[in-house]
Amino acid sequence: MQELVFATNNKHKVDEVAAKVGGSFKLLTLADIGCTEDIAETGLTFHENASIKSRYIFDHYHLNCFGDDSGLEIDALNGEPGVYSARYAGTHGNHEANMDKVLAKLQDESNRSARFKTVISLLWNGEEHFFEGIVEGSIRTERAGNGGFGYDPIFQPEGYAITFAEMTMEEKNSISHRARAMEKLLAFLKAKA
Residue 177, annotated as binding a ligand = yes
Considering the candidates 15, 32, 68, 69, report the single residue annotated as catalytic: 69
- Known binder of ligand: residue 143? no
Task: Return the SS3 of 167.
Answer: coil
Reply yes or no on whether 68 is catalytic: no
Residue 168 annotated as lining a ligand binding site: no
89 vs 82: CA distance, rounded Å: 12
* 8 annotated as ligand-binding: yes
- Tell me: is residue 12 an annotated ligand-binding position: yes
Sheet with 26-28, side-by-side order of all strands? 26-28, 3-6, 65-74, 113-124, 127-139, 155-157
What type of residue is 93?
Answer: G
Checking DSSP bridges between strand 65-74 and strand 26-28, what pairing results, if any?
A: unpaired
| Residue 68 labeled ligand binder | no
Q: Residue 62, exposed/middle/buried by CB under 10 A (0-12, 13-18, 19+)?
A: exposed
Binding residue per annotation — 10? yes
Is 173 annotated as belonging to a binding site?
Answer: no
Answer yes or no: is 178 a known binding residue: yes
DSSP tally for the chain: helices H, then strands E: 5, 6
Residue numbers in the known binding site for Mg(2+) are 69
Kindly list the catalytic residues.
69
Residue numbers in the known binding site for substrate are 8-13, 70, 149-152, 172, 177-178
